């Protein structure tokens, strides 16, 4: 904050020394009476001396002193919340509130005294001069409500005093209070803290000048229009600048108005869930730095909130938006480092160009709509706003809300497609394929609804698929004499693969279903191998150590390299349907399959071909050394009852009177786009 000078007074310093000494003697006496607390009390004394000393060092500036006081209070009491309220004084009718939480600090924000503030001040006066400890069980319900107004479960409240009267209020909340402890020692230490804070504030008042107050106001103005974490302009300032750019374009009668880009980070919630919010904040700061480097000095970057950013382009040409979006995409090709782990983060970018009659806020909304459309573009991850974009985005959001209902009411189902031995046609296992039984629409394939699912929904779908697949696989083992080693293949999303709970959930499902782990194969995509690399490697390693096999799905369509395959503990490569569909009697059409089989052999991996629909494909695949296959030549995806009938019959596939007599009507489409049979 502003450099508000202090006239440091010896009397104030003496008060702090005496207060620290008093707390020192109290804790020492308690330690002597109860040796069990001695070690902990010694540590608290050390923390107290260091914390208050740190605040003293910064106290020659009001903002710096309060910053240190808040940090010291949270460290000293291991609290989630600390606040210092400076009461109005002199000709200044406003109070100033400063607070610190896990999300960050806000310093010296002008405010009016609120009712919870008055209740806290009156309570301390009423009970005596010392600070108060307030818990949910406190008899003073009015005071408890004042604490709850700050969304705290407990708090210590103290009045900051000087020789001239009351200076302010100090609050520390949401700190650990061990069962059976009265908190008396904490209250004593907090009283010392309040005395020290009073000295800091009193000296700050004595030395404050008009020039310094103006500097403080300038800083507060900057804080009101800029994001505290990244330093970028916030939404308020960004909208003002968009409106000003629009006015300039209109006055110049320009052909195009300003262009706005809105972007957010795909999978950012997974970073917070995996590594914590502090790591997420570090990533956001890194994102802001990359955006500054990717745009020109005349352009305006902003953080709108959360993981959402925006860019105002100071150039009025038709293609400037896409050119900027491509530069931004290039800036994100290098991974971020999170706790010594490399993680690739991909932005989805929406582009909107101002049109006549469109306000700055509407232009921003248009770019936001385009951004949601960009999320559906799995290749470019960018989209421009058009008239029908809004309708498409609205339909996606409505579908997402319906999907929530399907998850609540068990509308997510499984279908199973046989994995067949090319050598003899026996059924080796079944791949589990997710379907949505959507009312009035029939069964929807994953390609029609997974693209609208957020990480929370993907995680819920993954949990249901893992359990249902294991439950069905347990039933298969007793379906017939030849079915006791029937395998189940389960697809994992990138969200599943990087989840901290994946291993426990998967092994819990296997145990609950009384299933042999060696009968389970988990399919992961090449893309999911790249996203959240280290977390994925650790999860895959733990699952494979437990006996579960791992297959790379759709090998050759993602971004992995041979060196990355060597790092992952794998068992299988799956050849995707588009590659299989190119197979014919011509030798040239076999080279790509031959190359994949050769790679698998060199890495000692098995090979499975997907989307096999013609007998010539099966013959060529078998001749090239592919072991297993699945596709409409053998059977479409079927329900659980049909699987049991197949296993009980003991038939081999393809069967002249059973499945496979008709080619798939979805030939050439990826398996995720094919509906259930």
Average pLDDT over the chain, rounded to whole?
A: 81
Average pLDDT on 381-390 reads 75
Q: What is the mean pLDDT of residues 300-324?
A: 87
For the entire predicted model, the pTM comes to 0.51
Assign domain 228-386 to its CATH architecture: 2-Layer Sandwich (3.30)
**3-state secondary structure string across 541-608:** HHHHHCCCEEEEECCCCCCCCHHHHHHCCCCEEEECHHHHHCCCCCHHHHHHHHHHHHHHHHCCCEEE
- Please report, in angstroms and rounded to a whole number, the separation of the first and last CA atoms in the chain: 66
- Average pLDDT (557-571) is 67
With b meaning 16 or more CB within 10 Å and e meaning fewer, what string describes 49-65?
Answer: eebbeebbebbbbbbbb
For residues 478 and 485, the answer to whether their CB atoms sit within 8 Å is: no
Q: In the prediction, which pLDDT does 41 show?
A: 53
**Residue-wise pLDDT tens digits, 21-79:** 445 555 555 555 555 555 555 555 556 556 555 544 444 455 667 888 898 889 888 99
The model's pLDDT over 653-677, given as tens digits with 9 standing for 90+, comes to: 886 655 543 444 444 444 544 433 3
pLDDT at residue 194 is higher than 60: yes
CATH of 413-648, one of 3.40.30.10, 3.30.1330.10, 3.40.605.10, 3.20.20.450: 3.20.20.450
Question: What tens digit of pLDDT does each residue of 461-490 get?
Answer: 999 999 999 999 999 998 877 767 999 999
In the chain, where the domains are located: 10-211, 228-386, 413-648
**Mean pLDDT confidence for 449-459:** 84
**Sheet with 95-101, side-by-side order of all strands:** 104-111, 95-101, 81-86, 165-173, 155-162, 132-134
- Is residue 3's pLDDT more than 80? no
Domain 10-211 fold: Beta-Lactamase (3.30.450)
The three-point CA angle 527-620-623 to 5° equals 100
In whole angstroms, what is the distance from residue 646 CA to residue 233 CA?
Answer: 63
Domains 228-386 and 413-648 agree in fold:
no
Q: Residues in the chain, how many?
A: 677
């Amino acid at each position: 904050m502003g450099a508000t000078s202090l006239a440091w007074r010896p009397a104030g310093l003496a008060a702090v020394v005496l207060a620290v000494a008093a707390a020192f003697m109290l804790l020492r006496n308690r330690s002597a009476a109860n040796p069990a607390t001695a070690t902990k009390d010694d540590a608290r004394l050390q923390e107290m001396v260091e914390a208050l000393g740190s605040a003293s060092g910064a106290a020659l500036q009001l903002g710096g002193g309060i910053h240190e006081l808040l940090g010291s209070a949270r460290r000293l009491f291991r609290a989630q919340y600390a606040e210092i309220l400076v009461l109005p004084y002199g000709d200044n009718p406003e109070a100033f509130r400063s607070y610190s939480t896990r999300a960050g600090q806000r310093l010296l924000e002008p405010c009016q005294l609120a009712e919870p503030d008055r209740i806290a001040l009156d309570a301390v006066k009423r009970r005596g001069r010392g600070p108060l400890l307030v818990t949910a069980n406190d008899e003073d319900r009015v005071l408890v409500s004042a604490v709850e107004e700050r969304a705290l479960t407990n708090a210590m409240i103290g009045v900051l005093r000087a020789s001239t009267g009351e200076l302010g209020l100090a609050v520390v909340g949401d700190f650990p209070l061990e069962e059976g402890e009265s908190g008396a020692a904490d209250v004593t230490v907090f009283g010392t803290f309040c005395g020290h804070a009073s000295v800091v504030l009193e000296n700050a008042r004595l030395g404050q000048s008009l020039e310094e107050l103006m500097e403080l106001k300038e800083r507060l103005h900057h804080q009101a229009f800029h994001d505290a974490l990244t330093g970028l302009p916030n939404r308020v300032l960004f909208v003002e600048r968009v409106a000003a750019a629009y006015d300039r374009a209109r006055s110049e009668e320009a052909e195009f108005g300003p262009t706005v880009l809105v972007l957010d980070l795909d999978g950012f919630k997974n970073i917070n869930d995996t590594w914590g919010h502090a790591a997420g904040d570090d990533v956001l700061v890194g994102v802001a730095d990359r955006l500054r480097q990717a745009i020109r000095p005349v352009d305006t970057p902003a953080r709108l909130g959360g993981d959402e950013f925006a860019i105002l382009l100071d150039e009025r040409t038709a293609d400037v938006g896409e050119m900027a979006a491509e530069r931004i995409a290039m800036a994100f090709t290098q991974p971020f480092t999170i706790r010594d782990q490399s993680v690739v983060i991909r932005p989805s970018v929406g582009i909107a160009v101002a049109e006549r009659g469109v306000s700055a806020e509407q232009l921003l909304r248009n770019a936001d709509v385009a951004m949601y459309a960009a999320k559906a573009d799995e290749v470019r991850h960018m989209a421009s706003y058009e008239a029908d974009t809004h309708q498409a985005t609205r339909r996606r959001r409505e579908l997402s809300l319906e999907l929530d209902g399907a998850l609540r009411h068990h509308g997510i189902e499984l279908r199973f497609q046989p994995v067949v031995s090319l050598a003899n046609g026996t059924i080796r296992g079944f791949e589990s394929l997710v379907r949505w039984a959507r009312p009035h629409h029939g069964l929807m394939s994953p390609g029609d609804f997974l693209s609208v699912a957020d990480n929370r929904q993907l995680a819920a779908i993954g949990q249901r698929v893992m359990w249902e697949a294991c439950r069905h696989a347990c039933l298969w083992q007793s379906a017939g004499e030849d079915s006791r080693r029937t395998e189940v293949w389960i697809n994992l999303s990138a969200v599943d693969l990087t989840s901290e709970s994946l291993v426990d959930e998967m092994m819990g499902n296997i145990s609950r279903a009384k299933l042999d782990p060696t009968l389970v194969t988990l399919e992961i995509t090449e893309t999911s191998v790249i996203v959240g690399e280290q977390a994925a490697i650790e999860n895959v390693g733990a699952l494979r150590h437990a006996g579960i096999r791992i297959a790379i799905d759709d090998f050759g369509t993602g971004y992995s390299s041979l060196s990355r395959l060597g790092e992952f503990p794998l068992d299988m490569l799956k050849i995707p349907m588009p590659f299989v569909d190119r197979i014919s009697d011509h030798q040239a059409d076999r080279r790509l399959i031959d190359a994949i089989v050769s790679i698998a052999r060199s890495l000692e991996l098995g090979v499975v071909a997907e989307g096999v629909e013609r007998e010539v494909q099966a013959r060529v695949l078998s001749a090239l050394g592919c072991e297993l296959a699945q596709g409409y030549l053998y059977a479409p995806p079927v329900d659980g009852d049909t699987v049991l009938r197949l296993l009980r019959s003991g038939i081999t596939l393809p069967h002249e009177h059973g499945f496979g007599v008709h080619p798939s009507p979805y030939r050439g489409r990826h398996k995720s786009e094919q509906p259930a049979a």
